[in-house]
Amino acid sequence: MLRVFQHDLRDPAHFVITLELVPGRESTGRKIDTVMGIARDAMADGRVSAVSITDNPGGNPSLSPDVIGNEIFKIGLDVIVHFTCRDMNRVGMESRALQLAMMGMKNILALTGDYTGAGFGGQGAPVFDLDAVSLLAMLAMLSERIEAAGDPDGFFAGCAVSPFKLTPGETMAQYAKLCRKEAAGAKFVITQLGYDAGRFAHLLDVTRSMGFDLPVLGSVYLLTPKAARIMNAGRVPGVVVSDQLRERVLAEWRDRETGRQAAVERAARLAAVLKGLGYKGIHLGGIHRDFSVVARILDRLERIEDRWTEFLADFGMAAAQEPAAPAAGGEVCAMVDGPAPALGPLEKLHFNLMRQAHGMFFARGSASAGLWRTLARRLDSHRAGRLIASTLEDPVKRLLLGCRHCGDCGIVHLAFLCPESQCPKHTRNGACGGSRNGRCEVHPERYCVWYRAWRRWAAAGESRRLAEGCVPPRRWELNETSSWLNFHLGRDHQGSGDAFARFCRSRSCRTEALANAADQIRQ
């Protein structure tokens, strides 16, 4: 009988186990046989609610999760399909979603995705036409169409979050984007991988304080020396393995059998801690050979789960510490209402200059808005007028913003920084999970643009603006036209009345949720 993942999530007595599987680069052979064998054994074991199938992890090509997921679905085990925004434009993503719906695979983990890696003939072109928030919005809108056509079950889409960021700005950006994801229709959350019980507890505190009724699964991984080295080096975006933990794993694996036993014990203990903290379940990864190690972890979990407080110290949390720790609450308060970070003189000048210019020329409710709209209409009515607008606009924006002339400017959402030129993934709804110590996943020599946006908004006492609204994707039909004219004439995403824009306006993140989180945790 098919075990339905979402039913298990909604059962208050059920602790959900999901298992992440990574298909290989071939369409047949030992790797595929191994994945299918693990799935069959998971089905027979009876404790796994669903397997999740990765989507070209690391940006490198592998067998489509849709294909192998469908084969697993046929044997009766439910499937969560990873759906990234890296490899297809919005047309391809909508087509893929419809295909999944027709196959009955409607559990989706919506991800922006790792940056592109090496494919046929070299590095692939990064698409990122949507981000995780706009993908969730698209799936929610498609669900309305599916249900209107007579299918009572739309997509059951979830999202990811990383509570393990090391800087307040990155942590704040993760929670702000989670607020947007919930508003866009996320039904469940899976964390990134980390080994900090305090941060795991912190995430639950924040979601409760925001008023979110989202089941959260914590990631657990069978940590081997190879994986520990790769993760510690930051080569798996968003995953945190400390230097101390890496060295401990290397020492444990000097004897292979001792290392395997230690890896199983660590996974079981972390699972017990997550269950004790109140997580709805675990998302188990690192299983590449057979199901037997999963069974060992789950057997061990059943024996030790009542002793979970004994294991808090293994993951950096004092055994006597309450899950809603004062230190964690204080951090949220500091991120939302705390002292402003100091901006450098050039950064401060740029922010203030751009903000004042926006207030003068691009505020819809200002006294001069009608004048600018009339001028824009006249310029737009003649080819010479459009040329004049571009001649005035392009050099200024290229100098101050690195403008790519997209015609649909998004700087107002990023504290007047450009998402097209300064974010390799062009994210308009918040930071991806790949930053490290405030640095960009793709270009570690520079700061993440969303980290910079947090610094600017926090310096202005407006850090909640990181979660303000739901931002529709870039309108490609405006490419290489004047964003100034498009704004004043209501053609860009800010003035659009299309279905996507209307959905975003109706599902905007409640910015007071971050303040509520701070206030409730403070109490």
The pTM assigned to this predicted structure is: 0.93
Report pLDDT for 330: 41
Q: Which two tokens stand for residue 361?
A: 């020329």
Residue 454 CA neighbour count, 13 Å, CB half: 26
Asked if 412 and 359 touch (Cβ cutoff 8 Å), the reply is: no
**Predicted pLDDT at 10:** 94
State pLDDT tens for residues 279-327: 999 999 999 999 999 999 999 999 999 999 999 999 987 654 544 433 3
Average pLDDT over residues 198-219: 93
The proportion of the chain whose per-residue pLDDT surpasses 90, expressed as a percent, equals: 82
Expressed in percent and rounded to 5, the helix, strand and coil fractions of the chain are 50, 10, 40
For 117-155, what is each residue's pLDDT tens digit? 988 899 999 999 999 999 999 999 999 999 999 998 999
Contact 193, 285 (CB under 8 A): yes
The whole-number pLDDT of residue 25 equals: 86
Q: Output the six-digit token pair for 213.
A: 């009724």
State the average pLDDT over residues 259-273: 98
pLDDT of residue 333: 41
Asked if residue 1 has pLDDT above 60, the reply is no
Q: Return mean pLDDT, the chain.
A: 91
Neighbour tally for 394: CB within 10 Å: 15
pLDDT at residue 329, rounded to an integer: 39
Instruction: Work out the number of other CB atoms within 10 angstroms of the CB of residue 118.
Output: 12
Each residue's pLDDT tens digit, 379-404: 999 999 999 999 999 999 999 999 99
Q: How many CB atoms lie within 10 A of CB 453?
A: 28
- CA distances to 28, 56, 111, 177, 227 from 118, rounded to whole Å, are 21, 11, 19, 29, 20
Cβ-contact 315, 270 below 8 angstroms: yes
Q: Are strands 118-119 and 122-123 parallel, antiparallel or unpaired?
A: antiparallel
Give, in order, the Cα–Cα distances in Å from 25 to each of 56, 123, 383.
9, 16, 51
pLDDT digits (tens, 9 = 90+) for 22-44: 998 888 888 899 999 999 999 99
Q: How far apart are CA 165 and CA 434, in angstroms?
A: 10
Residue with token string 């080819």: 383
Using DSSP bridges, classify how beta strands 156-161 and 122-123 pair: parallel, antiparallel or unpaired.
unpaired
pLDDT value, residue 515: 62
Residue 498: which region, alpha, beta or left (left: phi > 0; alpha: psi -120 to 50)?
beta
Residue-by-residue DSSP string for 274-315: HHHHT-SEEEEE---S-THHHHHHHHHHHHHGGGGGGGGGGG
- Average the pLDDT over 2-19 and give the result: 92
| Torsions phi, psi for 426 (to 5 deg) | 55, 35
Task: Please give the sequence-ordered ranges of beta strands (E in DSSP) within 126-280, or none if there are none.
Answer: 156-161, 188-191, 216-221
How far apart are the C-alpha atoms of 309 and 274, rounded to whole Å? 10
Residue 128 has a pLDDT of 97
66 pLDDT more than 90: yes
pLDDT given at position 517: 52
% of the chain exceeding 70 in pLDDT? 92
Q: Per-residue pLDDT for 196 more than 50?
A: yes
Q: Which two tokens stand for residue 184?
A: 């866009």
In residues, how long is the chain?
A: 523
* Residue closest to 46 by CA, chosen among 298, 290, 272, 286: 298
Phi and psi dihedrals of 26, rounded to 5? -105, 165
As beta bridge partners, residue 82 has: 109
Q: Is 494 a residue whose pLDDT tops 60?
A: yes
Rounded CA Rg of the chain:
24
Rounded Cα distance, 450 and 411, in Å: 11
Domain residue ranges in the chain: 341-460+471-506
CB atoms within 10 A of CB 130: 28
Per-residue pLDDT, 209: 86
Q: Indicate if the pLDDT at residue 438 is higher than 50.
A: yes
User: CB of 380 within 8 A of CB of 489?
Assistant: yes
Residue 356 confidence (pLDDT) above 50: yes
